[in-house]
Amino acid sequence: MNAIALLDYAGVAVFAATGALAASRKQLDIIGFLFLASVTGIGGGTLRDVILNLPVFWVANSGYVLVCAAVAVLVFFSAHRVESRWKWLLWLDAIGLAAFSVMGAAKGLAIT
């Protein structure tokens, strides 16, 4: 696994965590955690791949969906222990945005 692929998985995991933390703030059940973690974890990359006319990344490699599910379950059982979920949400969102910016630029440069 190269650094770009690792960064891609890390970005998916971090954005899945932000979605799961948002589900925690709304006191959703495990299905809500799984849904929001998946939508935030793979939604942006799906849109990127559709715009670039590439195969959707999580359809080609189901590991991304498993990462979203694992992070959602982890946050579901641990979010109530974190005192300041909002601060974690902001930091994780910033880290995920940085990771996906690099990944999006790399994919864009790869097709040109």
pLDDT (0 to 100) of residue 7: 81
- Residue range 69-88: mean pLDDT, rounded: 84
How much is the pLDDT for 85?
Answer: 66
In a domain, 23, yes or no: yes
User: For residue 12, is it within any domain?
Assistant: yes
In a domain, 112, yes or no: no
Instruction: Using the predicted structure, report yes or no on whether residue 83 has a pLDDT greater than 80.
Output: no
Question: In the numeric block, which tokens belong to residue 77?
Answer: 């059982």
pLDDT at 108: 84
Q: Is the dihedral of CA 65, 68, 69, 70 positive or negative?
A: positive
Q: Confidence band (pLDDT; 50, 70, 90) for 89?
A: confident
Domain count, the chain: 1
DSSP symbol at 54: -
What b/e sequence results for 1-21 when a residue is b if at least 16 CB atoms lie within 10 Å of its CB, and e otherwise?
Answer: eeeeeebbbbbbbbbbbbbbb
Find the domain containing 9 and state its range: 3-107
CB atoms within 10 A of CB 28: 16
pTM of the model: 0.83
